[in-house]
A and B are shown apart, each in its own frame.
Chain A
Amino acid sequence: MIQIKNLSFYYKKKSPLFSDFSLQLESGCIVGLLGKNGAGKSTLLSLITGLIQPQSGEIDVNGFRPFSRNPNFLSDIYMVPEEFSFPHVSISTYVKAFGPLYPAFDHKKLQGIFEEFELSPASNLNKLSHGQRKKFLIAFALSTNCKVLVLDEPTNGLDIPSKSQFRKILVSSVTDEQMVLISTHQVKDIDTIIDKVVVIDNGVIIYQENTNEITQKLYFDTVSSFTDSDQVLYSERCPFGYRVVKQANGETESNIDIELLFNAIIHKTI
């Protein structure tokens, strides 16, 4: 569980990014953290993982204060950063070196994900493509079985089949004790797997809702045209007419179009 209370954070010589920021996230769900560039997503992930220290406020992750970097906290949180680098070793050496540091590391699970992602343990990490290295890192992260997985732009650099494999693997491997926090711009890549949407803008949460509640409240559709009587909350032109967000009528549900939802939130129509 992640609990943030009255958090304030600013980088040196810059205006405050977060002031009096609060957020609570429960285990057993996949959370999509969305926001524009510079909204504070990556900073929030760094605060949650204890890479940076807030100026004031409280952060509690699984009962630990992240910046204390208690080893028991670190063994239960894994972050896949947007940019990463590896030592000049093979996949198997990397796993041998880092795997034992995570008490719940599952080698069988790793092997299974390797097969899905077509990764060979004998490959040298730095000879793999960016996408393959990312796949390895995701596979490793999932195999640690950490209670909190923080994924910053996990689908960046993945090819189309890998993106669907990623979704499939993620959904199948996350347990009720785990929480996955995904920060991404590529909202379409995660729209079918997230349980909760959190949108932040300028260090403020502007939207927070579970996906099942979203589908009960909102209806996403593509129409050739619409009128005022259709009660469209937000629309965007598309090749076949308009992608629209409407109030749900309570009878039919639609799939969430996260990109449309995000744009609607940013344009303050929801």
Chain B
Amino acid sequence: MESTRFFSLSRFILLMRNDFLLNYKKYLFTIAGAFILGYIILLTQMPTRDTAPDFIERQYVPLFIICMFGLGAFIGMSFPAFNSKTDTITYLLMPSSTFEKFASQFLIRIVAGTILFFMVFWIDAHLAKATALFVLRKFEHTPQIASFEFAIIFRSIYMNNNILMMFGTIFMFVSTGVYIFSVRIFFNKMPVVKIVISIVSLVFITAMFMILLSHIFYPETMGMQLSIPEYIVIENHSNTEIWLCSLFYCSWLFFLPLGYFKFKEKQL
């Protein structure tokens, strides 16, 4: 009895089934919406005239990042029941453990959301390329359009053979996703807007704090300038790199339990 207090596979399956039975249409519309939006974004950046420059691999990277905002919004809309008081009652009283509810949302919003995002972006990129080539077929000399592959994204973050920063970048996305997912639980209405405000506030407060420290430790600092003297710590990695990487590597480990315990203590 006690072992199933936190997790029971059969109950978890029932919870997931419940979510899909109630929300499958919403998920399908979201996937369709993401597919169309991604396609439009990619297509508008593809060359459609013979005089246009080639579309090179690197150009996919900013588009990929722009589309990731959509994934961020999807993650920010986790725990949809918290948008209304009546749905919150139903959700909190649903017979499954807090861990199961948290894990189910994590699985749907972060794990499945990310996998679907990669799939949709890949299809969109190839479809946009095919559409652009179709439009360009009437011209004699057409610009080249690079094919999208995920290696492009990895190559762009694996600069200067810096594996520490590559994983740092990956974990930056992981930590941001987990931050969005967890902080959502703190907000009931308009979570996405509030999450954006919280991120902006967090960045602003951090910047202000660092400016303050710059003024304290480096009195020659002028106005809003930041004084961060860089030096090599280990194997060609600077102190800033190490600081950023440790921040991104570890922050999700803080945000995930934060979200779980906030959810556990959630009240009407």
Contact = CB atoms under 8 A, between A and B. Distances in A.
Interface in A55-91: 69-72, 74-75, 77-79, 81, 83-85, 87-89
A70 B5 contact: yes
A71 B5 contact: yes
B92 interface: yes
B268 interface: yes
Contact of B22 (A71, A84, A89): A89
Contacts of B25: 88
B136 interface: no
A93 B18 CA distance: 9
A89 B96 contact: no
B222 interface: no
| Residue of B1, B4, B86 ringed by the most chain A CB atoms within 10 A | B86
Interface stretch (B9-17, B150-158, B166-174): B9-17
Contacts of A77: 93
Contacts, number: 74
Interface string A75-118: 10111010111011100011011101110000000000000000
B225 interface: no
B58 interface: no
Contacts of A69: 92, 97-98, 264
Nearest to B1: A72
B140 interface: no
Given A84-B86, A87-B23, A97-B17, A71 B97 contact: yes
Contacts of B97: 69-71
B86 A81 contact: yes
Interface residues of B, number: 31
Given A71-B96, A72-B1, A102-B95, A97 B21 contact: yes
Nearest to A81: B89
Nearest to A152: B89
A53 B92 contact: no
B230 interface: no
Interface residues of A, number: 30
A52 B84 CA distance: 16
A27 interface: no
A83 B94 contact: no
B96 A53 contact: no
A184 interface: no
Interface in B140-188: none
A51 interface: yes
| Residue of A49, A50, A51, A71 ringed by the most chain B CB atoms within 10 A | A71
A165 interface: no
A101 B96 contact: yes
B14 A100 contact: yes
Interface string B70-111: 000000000000001111011011111110100000000000
B93 to A, nearest CB: 6
A50 B100 CA distance: 17
B25 to A, nearest CB: 8
A69 B86 CA distance: 18
B8 interface: yes
Contacts of B100: 71
Nearest to B21: A97
A93 B21 contact: yes
B8 A71 contact: yes
A74 B97 CA distance: 9
Interface of B: 1, 4-5, 8, 11, 14-15, 17-18, 21-23, 25, 84-87, 89-90, 92-98, 100, 264-265, 267-268
Interface of A: 46, 49-53, 69-72, 74-75, 77-79, 81, 83-85, 87-89, 93-94, 96-98, 100-102
25 contacts: A50-B93, A51-B89, A53-B267, A69-B92, A69-B97, A69-B98, A70-B5, A70-B97, A71-B96, A74-B93, A75-B95, A77-B93, A81-B86, A83-B85, A84-B89, A84-B90, A85-B87, A87-B22, A89-B21, A93-B21, A93-B22, A100-B17, A101-B14, A101-B94, A101-B95
Given A51-B92, A85-B87, A97-B17, 9 more contacts: A51-B268, A72-B1, A72-B5, A74-B96, A78-B93, A81-B86, A81-B89, A97-B22, A98-B94
